[in-house]
Amino acid sequence: MNNNGIPKWANKFLSTICPDHLIEEIEGDLIQKFNRDIKNFGEKRAKRRLLWNIIRFFRPGIIFRNRFSVDLNQGYMLTNYFKVAARVMLRNKAYAVINIAGLALGITSAILLFLWIAKEFNYEQFHVDKDRIYEAWNRELANGEINCWSTTPRILAPTLVEEYPAVESAISYGAYHSSHLFTAGKTQLIKTSGVFTDASFLTMFSFPLLKGNPSTALGNPNSIVITESFAKQLFGDKEPFGADVTIGESGYTFPFTVTGILKDLPSTTEFHFDYLVSWQFLESLGEKDTYWGNNSVLTFVKLREGEDVNQFTEIVKDIAKKHSKEESSVEVFLYPLTKLRLYSKFENGVQAGGRIENIRMIGILGICLIAIACINFINLSTARAQKRAKEVGVRKVTGAHRHSLIIQFLCESVLLALGAGIISIVIVFLSLPSFSMLVQQSLSLDFQSITFWSIAIAFIVFIGVLAGSYPAFYLSSFHPVRILKGAPITSAHRGRLRQLLVVLQFGFAVTMILSVIVIGKQIRYAQHREAGYAKDHLIYQPMTGDLEKNYQAYKNELLSSGVATSVTKTSAPITERWSNTNEISWNGKDPLDKILIERFNVDEDISTTAGLTILEGRDMDLQHYPSDSTAVLLNETAAKLMGFKHPVGEIILDNEIEWHVIGVIKDFVLTSPYQKIEPLVILGGKKEMFGTIHIRLNPNRLVPPTMEAISELYSKYNPDYPFEYHFVDEEYQRKFSSLKATLTITTLFGSIAIFIACLGLLGLSTFMIESRVKEIGIRKVMGGSVINIIKLLSIDSLKPILVAIIIFTPLAWLAMSWFLQTFDYRIALNIWVFLLAGLSIITIGLLTIGLQTFGAANGNPAKNLRAE
């Protein structure tokens, strides 16, 4: 029998639990006892007793007799590793700088981008009942496609609460952005950031009240809930809670009492308001809005606990069809509050991306930047392997295990990453404010939180291990005998791997350059698009306070004093969508056709004020044609849509009013300069429809004195309100701001990517020239010209860049055409864009390696060859 009767597993068990210096006698005693037991009790019982005896050795008296020790060798060696790492870095300062700078830039960008992503995922997460809150959406089958939209009728929320027991509460949320003049004592303020909502808003969401009772604060028609900072603006240091305030709107004033002070809204919410007013107030003024076709508010629903949203959606979807007086094919469905920010884009009724697509791109960008920085490290370490080979050889000969060498090299990379990490945290700290501004998000870093530091350190160590693991395995694999004999490290396929990694780096760089060029071109293209009206010398003002009453006098004086050449009242600024509908009908309209038509109301003279071109018919002119309050101008697209051969004189029906077409205007850009022109009807209208005044300034006068003159007239006719105006051309430029921000971000991170890649290229080419310095010397001695040597050296470095351009250009082409598809009015991708991108990356590459290559080729060969 093995081991004199002790089974193998038992033996193993014993040697695990018993201290080494005791194992021999314990085994001996066990065997001796076993042999005696065989004599006394027979083999079978003896064996049982033996096993029992062995198991009994598992006791604290034995186990704790093991020497628990730390091998301080490890500690000494660790210090040594760090010491060696520091010395290696100091000896090759340039490489250390290249590595650390690259890593620091990569880590900085990644931290900034990941902070941004984390912020996006934090939206609406603070609501206690966030999992039970939904937004009600509408969907409708129109022209063969399911349209989804989030505005709903005002009557939806009360109906949901009344008729569906599964609903705990439902509220309408109306943000109309109308100007309200607040008066509290002597303070007067104009705010447009008010929201009409139901009383249960404060209990549904978790916006904490500093003062006031959330369940009753909005219970009164004349109660108002304001935010902390608005209270400060309005009341200063006086106690705002319970104070009286009046709100003025279009000439009327209403008294309110402050019944709640809200803590300022967190930055992780899409709700934006300074004050809340109850629907009861609006409804106490006039009729309740019970029309199911008027989608003007957002509706939020909180289901009771345990209710299944899918089941409920099934029940509730026909609510509009059931209640609506007219025939309606609109269905209601619920969408989770927590998904609204990132996932609320629908295509043909199915959730399809949304902001999350951008977030994914940002994530990929961050990962790519880190990867590029890590590639630098990998390339430089493997390229310089020869320099470390002797050290590895000596360490191995003196007894180093491979794993300890791996640990050594990992220590080096972690040390490097830590250095880079510290630098990048400092850069992040310094650049966070400007980055926040760039991405229009208030990002912050909590430098006191342990979570932040632990995540940051874990992340940085991870980067160190990620960058260092391949070089560590490679460097530790050298055969000591061969190295110490002086044999060179054969690295043909390592060289190929390095080139592959460089290809990846520059492939990414090419893609980024291309994106920058394409986005920039697209913006310029859209900016140069014919707007269809004269944007300069045109301003608009909101119709506030007494202006409505004094409009005619104001207009007359503007015209007679010569500061303005034309003045028109409109329903909205010409740069904004005001209202649209699919319920306009005309002679010959297909009843199933549900195409959306934009609506815009004007009183008269819109063509002269805005500089629109009349193609057919005439402009509105109330003086000569008093019936023009029911006249309509079509834009070309609308005229084509309606299929009128001679539009003038036709009748269209909207809101049960017959509008007679008096003219056709040339298409102009109302909403997005990137999209095709929507069909538009410019309707006449009644007095109360006009919320904006457009003024065409006299082009022969200087702007500053003109504005001064207008300001004077304004304060004469509307003394309570501050002078407010907007230049249309400035507002028009805002349409480009989001794409411009994308361009800035792409340019920024593209430049960082290119910079890091170039750092790596610089390091590699320096190394290559260093190791070929003798070859260059000999070539020169043998008569090689400087140009030839430069060519020789450059081609080696540029080859991977060329490969990158060839491989990545088609991919970038695909990505860019996919990106451009989101625009109706877009540039065509042509070959020049790609040539430009390729050429610029080659130029950048050449500039990077140029100086060194030139220096090496120009060097004195005698100097380089002397050492032999």
Partner 1 sequence: MLICLTKYNEMKKEYLGEFEELILTMVGVLREEAYGAMIAQEIETRQKREVNLSAVHVTLYRLEDKGLIKSSYGGSTSERGGRRKRLYIVTSAGFAILGAMKAARMDLWKLLPELKTFGA
Please report whether residue 398 would count as binding partner 1 according to CB under 8 A: no
Give the residue carrying structure tokens 């994914």.
360
CB of 40 to partner 1, least distance (A): 10
Span near partner 1 by CB under 8 A; candidates 18-26, 178-186, 496-504, 743-751 = 18-26
Among 8, 20, 44, 72, binds partner 1 (CB under 8 A): 72
Among 22, 86, 166, 385, binds partner 1 (CB under 8 A): 22
CB of 90 to partner 1, least distance (A): 29
Tell me the three state secondary structure of residue 99.
helix
With CB under 8 A as the rule, give the number of residues binding partner 1.
31
Among 71, 162, 656, 868, binds partner 1 (CB under 8 A): 71
Looking at the Cβ atoms of 56 and 485, the one nearer to partner 1 is 56
Please report whether residue 8 would count as binding partner 1 according to CB under 8 A: no
CB of 87 to partner 1, least distance (A): 24
Q: Please name the amino acid found at residue 57.
A: F
Span near partner 1 by CB under 8 A; candidates 62-70, 173-181, 336-344, 624-632 = 62-70
Q: How far apart are CA 180 and CA 249, in angstroms?
A: 5
Among 29, 163, 347, 658, binds partner 1 (CB under 8 A): 29
Please report whether residue 38 would count as binding partner 1 according to CB under 8 A: no
Looking at the Cβ atoms of 44 and 67, the one nearer to partner 1 is 67
Adjacent-strand bridge partners of 140: 147
- Is residue 800 within 8 Å of 794, Cβ to Cβ? no
Looking at the Cβ atoms of 70 and 782, the one nearer to partner 1 is 70
Please report whether residue 57 would count as binding partner 1 according to CB under 8 A: yes
Q: Which of 737, 576, 736 is nearest to 669 (CA)?
A: 576
Span near partner 1 by CB under 8 A; candidates 70-78, 111-119, 246-254, 836-844 = 70-78
Among 10, 26, 245, 406, binds partner 1 (CB under 8 A): 26
CB of 81 to partner 1, least distance (A): 18
Span near partner 1 by CB under 8 A; candidates 69-77, 317-325, 513-521, 525-533 = 69-77
Please report whether residue 65 would count as binding partner 1 according to CB under 8 A: yes
Among 48, 59, 403, 863, binds partner 1 (CB under 8 A): 59
The count of other CB atoms within 10 Å of the CB of residue 109 is: 26
Q: How far apart are CA 176 and CA 192, in angstroms?
A: 8
Please report whether residue 67 would count as binding partner 1 according to CB under 8 A: yes
Q: Which of 662, 709, 707 is nearest to 682 (CA)?
A: 662
How far lies 417's CA from each of 78, 266, 378, 464, in Å?
Answer: 16, 35, 13, 5
- Is residue 805 within 8 Å of 776, Cβ to Cβ? no
Which residues touch 438 (CB under 8 Å, ≥6 apart)?
A: 741, 744, 745, 748
Span near partner 1 by CB under 8 A; candidates 67-75, 213-221, 344-352, 485-493 = 67-75
The values of phi and psi at residue 589, to 5°, are -80, 135
Q: How far apart are CA 427 and CA 437, in angstroms?
A: 16
Please report whether residue 45 would count as binding partner 1 according to CB under 8 A: no
Span near partner 1 by CB under 8 A; candidates 71-79, 151-159, 647-655, 754-762 = 71-79
Query: What region, left, alpha or beta, does residue 563 occupy, with left being phi > 0 and alpha being psi -120 to 50 degrees?
Result: alpha
Among 8, 9, 70, 552, binds partner 1 (CB under 8 A): 70
Span near partner 1 by CB under 8 A; candidates 2-10, 174-182, 271-279, 423-431 = 2-10
CB of 404 to partner 1, least distance (A): 16
Span near partner 1 by CB under 8 A; candidates 58-66, 520-528, 570-578, 718-726 = 58-66
How far lies 769's CA from each of 91, 390, 848, in Å?
Answer: 18, 21, 14
- Strands in 265-395 per DSSP E: 275-278, 295-303, 331-336, 346-347, 350-351
Span near partner 1 by CB under 8 A; candidates 52-60, 432-440, 468-476, 529-537 = 52-60
Please report whether residue 30 would count as binding partner 1 according to CB under 8 A: yes
- Is residue 157 within 8 Å of 169, Cβ to Cβ? no
Looking at the Cβ atoms of 66 and 852, the one nearer to partner 1 is 66
Please report whether residue 61 would count as binding partner 1 according to CB under 8 A: yes
Looking at the Cβ atoms of 61 and 488, the one nearer to partner 1 is 61
Cβ burial, residue 21 (10 Å; 0-12/13-18/19+): exposed
Task: Tell me 322's DSSP state.
Answer: H
How far lies 430's CA from each of 69, 406, 746, 803, in Å?
Answer: 45, 36, 20, 38
CB of 19 to partner 1, least distance (A): 9
CB of 79 to partner 1, least distance (A): 14
Task: Tell me 5's DSSP state.
Answer: G
CB of 17 to partner 1, least distance (A): 10
Q: Please name the amino acid found at residue 216.
A: T
Q: How far apart are CA 605 and CA 622, in angstroms?
A: 9
Looking at the Cβ atoms of 28 and 185, the one nearer to partner 1 is 28
- Is residue 268 within 8 Å of 126, Cβ to Cβ? yes
Token pair of 489, please? 């490290």
Please report whether residue 347 would count as binding partner 1 according to CB under 8 A: no
Question: What is the DSSP annotation of 580-618?
Answer: EES--EETT--TT----EEEEEB-S-HHHHHTPPEEEE-
Please report whether residue 707 would count as binding partner 1 according to CB under 8 A: no
Task: Tell me 528's DSSP state.
Answer: T
Looking at the Cβ atoms of 65 and 360, the one nearer to partner 1 is 65
Please report whether residue 143 would count as binding partner 1 according to CB under 8 A: no
Token pair of 498, please? 């390095």
Looking at the Cβ atoms of 34 and 95, the one nearer to partner 1 is 34
- Is residue 584 within 8 Å of 654, Cβ to Cβ? yes
Span near partner 1 by CB under 8 A; candidates 65-73, 482-490, 510-518, 591-599 = 65-73
Q: Can you list the alpha helix ranges (DSSP code H) found in 440-479? A: 450-475
Interacting residues with partner 1 between 309 and 338 (CB under 8 A): none
Residue environment code for 347-374, b if the CB has 16+ CB neighbours within 10 A, otherwise e? eeeeeeebebebbeebbebbebbbbbbb
Looking at the Cβ atoms of 296 and 404, the one nearer to partner 1 is 404
Q: 295-303 and 152-153 as β-strands: parallel, antiparallel, unpaired?
A: antiparallel
Looking at the Cβ atoms of 70 and 867, the one nearer to partner 1 is 70
Please report whether residue 24 would count as binding partner 1 according to CB under 8 A: yes
Task: Tell me 760's DSSP state.
Answer: H
CB of 46 to partner 1, least distance (A): 13
Token pair of 830, please? 């042509």
Cβ burial, residue 860 (10 Å; 0-12/13-18/19+): exposed
Tell me the three state secondary structure of residue 864.
helix
Please report whether residue 36 would count as binding partner 1 according to CB under 8 A: yes
Please report whether residue 31 would count as binding partner 1 according to CB under 8 A: yes
CB of 30 to partner 1, least distance (A): 7
Among 9, 20, 44, 73, binds partner 1 (CB under 8 A): 73
Please report whether residue 69 would count as binding partner 1 according to CB under 8 A: yes
Give the residue carrying structure tokens 């002790």.
6
Span near partner 1 by CB under 8 A; candidates 27-35, 367-375, 596-604, 714-722 = 27-35
Among 7, 33, 129, 164, binds partner 1 (CB under 8 A): 33
Looking at the Cβ atoms of 57 and 854, the one nearer to partner 1 is 57
Please report whether residue 9 would count as binding partner 1 according to CB under 8 A: no
- Is residue 341 within 8 Å of 124, Cβ to Cβ? yes
Which residues here bind partner 1, judged by CB under 8 A?
3-5, 22, 24-33, 35-36, 53, 56-57, 59, 61-62, 64-65, 67-73
